[in-house]
Amino acid sequence: MVRRVLISVTSDVVTDQRVLKVAAEISATGADITIIGRKLPWSLECDGIPWKVTRYRMIFKKGFLFYKFFNIRLLFSLFRSGADLLVSNDLDTLLPNFIVSRIRNIPLVFDAHEYFTGSPELSGRPFVKYVWKMVERMVVPRLKYFITVNDSIAILYEKEYGIKPVVVRNFSANWPGNSSERSELGISKDDILCVIQGTGLNHGRGGMELLDAISDTDGIHLLVIGRGDQIGAMREKILEPGIINRVTFLTVMPWNDMMSYTAMADIGLSLDMKGSVNYENSLPNKIFDYMNAGLAVIATDIKEVSAVVNSTGCGMIISEPDPRLIRDAIIRFRDDRRLLKRCRQKSRDAFANYRWENEVPVLRNVYNSAGLVFNDKITDSIIK
């Protein structure tokens, strides 16, 4: 019987909703859960997380030295943990988990949140990509319990290694809260409010193009919630004429708090660029947060995203994050309130089919096979 589960991830845990949702389901077995992550200068405290959380403070914040020392520390922690089941989130925690699972003969579940070796951060870094690819080639074909977030990524792994992961999509958990008041942020109730959110507001995700799109547009305000390597440049850009009074920034916060601000908006944006295998095959969880909050969606033509938006009628797909295309889509919603209302209603209606609870039986089947025993009741996974 599995009594102790150790979950590892290189995120700061608090803002990693998939890890917390999975932990909530595992907790239904009565297992003792420990989550290992890292603590960054901007990380929130772990208040409200009901499991033991260990976060490493790392001297190196990114790059080869970060991953080297994080994985060494993780390896020793796993050996000492006495865990009966290991859960590795993404390729950057997989090798130490695999080593310990083999030496101690305990099951390992690998949850790939993305196609890691296709990420833009590895573009132009052939040696680094080679190292990660070598780890992937050595371990992935030997995995028994393998999960990923959508069909496109599952197909990539199947083509490459002959092993198809089980797909557990990263849908939004049920959110029972109420939205905040726009007046709290000094935003007019008459404006069309757009929101873009996430802890990965990085280069290639349309942030700068979005600011260009809303410049000199009347009756439109943008809310940016989160962090990323483009936030600094975005904050500098809003000092330009025509933008400064149209944008409000909020930093990372607990999911329930973030949703209360997201729900103030009319339109949710997802603006990933093509050119990265990872982005081209992604299905950002923000899409489902927007549905959860009943927002119309404007998204770029990423195949997994466009399939959801087009099939539900919850918004508009644009070919690329070009400022003119973004501006035209927003203005169309601004000028056609009936269309905006219709898309928002379709978004609310669609959420019934795109909620985390629908994925839980699939997730539990994997963990049942790995040795966990669940109660019959599916938990209503609400992340605090």
**Taking a C-beta distance cutoff of 8 angstroms, is the pair 27, 51 a contact?**
yes
pLDDT at 177: 79
Mean pLDDT of the chain: 92
Residue 171 predicted with pLDDT over 80 = yes
Cβ-proximal residues to 317 (8 Å cutoff; 6+ apart), any chain: 299, 300, 301, 305, 306, 309, 310
pLDDT at 119: 87
Give the residue from 59, 62, 54, 63 showing the smallest Cα distance to 81. Answer: 54
Compute how many other C-beta atoms are within 10 angstroms of the C-beta atom of residue 383.
21
Question: For the chain, what is the largest distance between any 2 Cα atoms, rounded to a whole number of angstroms?
Answer: 63
Confidence of residue 377 (pLDDT cuts 50, 70, 90): low
pLDDT at 380: 47
CA distances from residue 84 to 34, 207, 232 in whole angstroms, order as listed:
12, 43, 43
257: burial class by Cβ within 10 Å (0-12, 13-18, 19+)?
middle
Residues recorded for the chain: 384
* 3-class SS string, 166-223: EECCCCECCCCCCCCCHHHHCCCCCCEEEEEEECCCCCCCCHHHHHHHHCCCCCEEEE
**Taking a C-beta distance cutoff of 8 angstroms, is the pair 372, 23 a contact?**
no
What confidence tens digit (pLDDT) does each residue in 311-331 have?
Answer: 999 999 999 999 999 999 999
Domains of the chain: 4-172+355-369 (3.40.50.2000), 182-353 (3.40.50.2000)
pLDDT at 314: 97
pLDDT at 35: 97
What confidence tens digit (pLDDT) does each residue in 53-95 have?
Answer: 999 998 877 888 888 999 999 999 999 999 999 999 999 999 9
pLDDT at 123: 78
pLDDT at 309: 97
Say if pTM beats, i.e. exceeds, 0.75.
yes
What confidence tens digit (pLDDT) does each residue in 224-261 have?
Answer: 999 988 899 999 988 887 788 899 999 999 999 999 99
pLDDT above 70 as % of the chain: 97
Residue 157 predicted with pLDDT over 90 = yes
Residue 381 predicted with pLDDT over 70 = no
Give the residue from 205, 159, 212 showing the smallest Cα distance to 305. Answer: 205
Return the C-alpha torsion angle 375, 381, 382, 383, nearest 10.
Answer: 100
pLDDT above 90 as % of the chain: 77
Token pair of 335, please?
Answer: 């000028």
What confidence tens digit (pLDDT) does each residue in 115-126 have?
Answer: 999 988 887 788
Tell me the mean pLDDT in the region 1-18.
Answer: 91
Position with higher pLDDT, 198 vs 148 = 148
Query: Considering just the CA atoms, what is the radius of gyration of the chain in Å?
Result: 21
Residue 205 predicted with pLDDT over 60 = yes
Tell me the mean pLDDT in the region 142-154.
Answer: 97
pLDDT at 384: 40
**Taking a C-beta distance cutoff of 8 angstroms, is the pair 265, 194 a contact?**
yes
pLDDT at 1: 61
Confidence of residue 376 (pLDDT cuts 50, 70, 90): low
Distance CA 219, CA 79 (A): 57
Token pair of 379, please?
Answer: 């938990």
Backbone angles phi, psi at 282, to 5 degrees: -85, 165
β-pair partners for 253: none
pLDDT at 56: 92
Distance CA 43, CA 45 (A): 7
Secondary structure letter of residue 272 according to DSSP: P
Quickly tell me which residue has 């943990």 as its tokens: 81
Residue 97 predicted with pLDDT over 90 = yes
Residue 217 predicted with pLDDT over 80 = yes
Cβ-proximal residues to 125 (8 Å cutoff; 6+ apart), any chain: none
Return the C-alpha torsion angle 66, 119, 74, 151, nearest 10.
Answer: 170
Secondary structure letter of residue 379 according to DSSP: P
Token pair of 112, please?
Answer: 């790939």
How many helices (H) and strands (E) would you count in the chain? 14, 13
